[in-house]
Chain A
Amino acid sequence: MHTLLELLEQDCTQPTAQLAAQAGMTEAEVEKERARLEEDGAILGYQAIIDWDRVKRENVTALIEVKVVPQSIDGFDRIAERIYQYEEVESMYLMSGSFDLTVIISGRTLREVAQFVGERLATIEGVTGTATHFILKKYKEKHLVFRRPEPQEREFVFS
């Protein structure tokens, strides 16, 4: 059986009754558990995943590799916080490997993104280098494919 969290991760727009039946809980239990998970911060929020290309809105996303001066994990956390506080930062991760932080930012134009990297990010104390990769096309995000499913032929086979 799916847990409430798994069901919500799949589709958080499902009505409580639907969640309850699938999770083997009562509606009251679902509401209580959901409130608790939100309170705890296990559920951070609920957002729609949007294909902006479909609504013809210009949108630029970049993945930036950031190198910082070597430090302890706490040190990374401090620098990270200085970066992710910016509204432009969509996601951010501490990485293993040849660079330290992945920063994903999105802006309306290329210029907006470039400006952010040059003026804000690169100038933060402790940042020793950046490499910016612009995302050219999104294929899949959070298990969702950026493409309308191909219409399947509906064959009425009696099986």
Chain B
Amino acid sequence: MNYDQILNQKIQGVKPSGIRKFFDILEEMTDAITLGIGEPDFVTPWHIRDAGIYSLERGHTKYTSNAGMLELRREIVNYLRRRFDLSYDYTSQVLVTVGGSEAIDLSLRCLLNPGDEVIIPTPSFVCYGPLTEMAGGVPVYVELKAENEFRLTPEELKAVITPKTKVLVLPFPCNPTGGIMERKDLEALMPILKDTNIMVLSDEIYAELTYGQHHVSPANLTELYDRTVLVNGFSKSHAMTGWRMGYVCAPKPIVAAMTKLHQFGIMSAPTTSQYAAIEAMRNGDGDIEHMREEYDSRRRYLVENLNRIGLTCFEPKGAFYVFPCIKSSGLSSQEFCERFLREEKVAVIPGDAFGPGGEGYVRACYAASMKDIAEAVSRMDNFLQNLKGKEN
């Protein structure tokens, strides 16, 4: 069988992630410290786990309604109002998904017609481009700049808009840069979007992890509310990555279309996870604060020390990543990460894996123990000293 002829051409065209090779080295190295994986190092808080367990004890093992349990949708709406001052109708504007990723996939598949363009600011999480292509769209990448603190500027946006532009992805707070968009930054984009039909796909999975200022969603701006598809979930805010719980909030016709697709592809999000998620929404605000405080401590430590040892590091205001510039090493991101892993046994991710504009940077995730972070910094210092030594 020639599977190249059998497999869908679009999926064949999707490039495999550039860091697979890197992970293969890492998997063999059992004693490596990893600041590579983008997930909380916390276990899901016990009361949330317990709610999941209790739902199983009571025998809640069946499908839920396609859009997700009404009780959960109501809690999500309460949560968004309480924490972000956002208003949605739980009966018609919320869909519970299998992680934020499914919500992004559904959004693109329900919005795009063949040839529609999707503006994707980069460096950013890797899924937007491939999911756009699979949905028949065309990714248009915009390189964000360190000197703008990796925010999307109106000039950058204006330069890539064409009559075919259908969706603007706003991945803020941003993985891997830690960049955020403040209210004024969003407002600056409004005049450009105003007379268009461009929809904003706002991936707000790190909304709870901002340091020093509160997250603002494009949906907080009256002018953008009707064109915003808000994606969020429980993975990062409540340390629930393995539960696969996400949700999308959007204008009614869009949620209706997405629910239609979701019911054929997924039926309903996992029931146990939905019960756990209800508990997370009702009684989890304290967990969020606790984890954010922990991350903030580690963030300060890492930023200060990377700068001290000579890796310029823009201060990330959100998520749990730092994105230091490694250009002074004279190595490419890939070379840097591979050598750092082999020589010092510490994993960080090459910036070019996050799309155009990522070359010359690496991503380090500080959702790791203080002990590992401190050790990684000391090894990084060693690595940089050795590099310098070899140059001289």
In the assembled complex, the Cα of A142 lies from the Cα of B329 at a distance in Å of: 44
Does more than half of chain B's interface fall in helix, strand or loop, or is it mixed? helix
Select one of B39, B293, B296, B298 contacting A159, CB under 8 A.
Answer: B39
- Whether the pair B297, A22 counts as a contact (CB closer than 8 A) is yes
- Chain B, interface residues (CB within 8 Å), range: 20 to 34
B11 within 8 Å of A (CB atoms): no
B297–A15 CB distance below 8 A: no
Judged by a CB distance under 8 angstroms, whether A24 is at the interface is yes
- 8 Å CB contact of B17 from A11, A18, A21, A158: A158
B47 at the interface (CB under 8 A from A): no
User: Whole-angstrom distance between the alpha carbons of A7 and B297 in the complex?
Assistant: 9
Q: Closest approach, in angstroms, between the C-beta of A16 and any C-beta of chain B?
A: 12
A-facing residues in B5-64 (Cβ within 8 Å): 17, 19, 23, 26-27, 34, 36-39
B300 at the interface (CB under 8 A from A): yes
Contact flag A157-B293 (CB < 8 Å), given A14-B370, A22-B300? no
B301 contacts the other chain (Cβ, under 8 Å)?
Answer: yes
- What residues of chain A lie closer than 8 Å to B353, measured between beta carbons? 158
Say whether, besides A15-B374, A18-B374, A156 and B36 are in contact (CB < 8 Å). yes
Interface status of A49 (Cβ within 8 A of chain B): no
Any B CB within 8 A of the CB of A1: yes
Give Cα A159 to B125, complex, Å.
7
How many A residues face the partner with a CB closer than 8 A?
17
Q: How far is the CB of B241 from chain A (nearest CB, A)?
A: 7
Q: From DSSP, what is the main secondary structure of chain A's interface residues?
A: loop
Q: Does A111 contact B (CB under 8 A)?
A: no
**B39 touching A158, Cβ below 8 Å:** no
Contact residues of A with B, CB < 8 Å? Answer: 1-2, 7, 11, 14-15, 17-18, 21-24, 154, 156-159
Taking A157-B37, A158-B38 as given, write out 9 further A-B residue pairs in contact, using a Cβ cutoff of 8 Å, ordered by the A residue number: A1-B296, A2-B297, A11-B370, A17-B305, A22-B301, A156-B27, A157-B39, A158-B17, A158-B126
Which residues does B use to contact A, with CB under 8 Å? 17, 19, 23, 26-27, 34, 36-39, 125-126, 175, 241, 293, 296-298, 300-301, 304-305, 349, 353, 370, 374
27 pairs, CB–CB < 8 Å, chain A vs chain B: A1-B300, A2-B293, A2-B297, A14-B370, A18-B301, A21-B297, A21-B301, A21-B304, A21-B305, A22-B298, A22-B300, A22-B301, A22-B370, A23-B297, A24-B300, A156-B23, A156-B26, A156-B27, A156-B36, A156-B37, A157-B39, A158-B19, A158-B23, A158-B38, A158-B126, A159-B37, A159-B241
